[in-house]
Amino acid sequence: MGQTVDKRDSLTWITIELSYLGETKVEEGTLESTLRNDLKVGSDFPVFLPAATYHKHEKAITIHLMEGYAFVGSGLPDTMYFGLEKKQYVEQVMSTVSGPNRIRTLSTIPNSYIKNLRRQLQKLMASDIVTNSVVRVTEGTYRALEGKVMGKRGDHAFVLIQLRSIEIIATIPLGFLEVL
């Protein structure tokens, strides 16, 4: 018999509604580290901000896919998440109240929803990629390398990657690139 996967063990996400200060932290690029610090988790704990900041002509530009929200992985005690509501950058942690004792329960969303948001954000970022853009590869074989966009066709870019011993032009999906 084949093994069945218990969906309760799959990654789900907790939605955090941000205050104005929280949105400011998104713009400053400090929200992710603040959340990790306040949840007492390391850099491997899942945090997703539906926004991305990059620099263009020495000016910071933030693209917002969904303003006012942040998402953190589930798996910690509920009290850790609800404790974020005491922080000035959090408006509320999304939850439901049920039962005769009016007990609050965290609302979770599936990982597939966050994956979809990530794809949408990458597409938004990729729309700013033009010929001669300097980019960093975020996924795939050339991950973490930087290069220069030589051209585009469809949803791919031709990126010149120069290393000490080799120079190549790699065809890379636009969604795998971020402008530097």
Task: Please state the pTM of the whole predicted model.
Answer: 0.71
C-alpha radius of gyration, the chain, whole number: 20
The reply to whether 1-127 and 129-180 are identical in fold is no
pLDDT tens string, the chain, 180 residues long: the values are 444 444 556 889 999 999 999 999 998 889 999 999 999 999 999 999 998 776 666 666 777 888 999 999 999 999 999 999 999 999 999 999 988 988 999 999 999 999 999 888 877 777 778 899 899 998 889 999 999 999 998 878 999 999 999 999 999 988 788 887
Q: State the Cα–Cα distance between residues 92 and 83, nearest whole angstrom.
A: 10
Q: State the Cα–Cα distance between residues 125 and 70, nearest whole angstrom.
A: 18
What number of other Cβ atoms are within 10 A of residue 115's Cβ?
12
Q: Does the structural domain 129-180 have CATH classification 2.30.30.140?
A: yes
Domain boundaries, the chain: 1-127, 129-180
Task: Give the CATH number of domain 1-127; options: 3.40.1400.10, 3.30.70.940, 3.30.470.20, 3.50.50.60.
Answer: 3.30.70.940
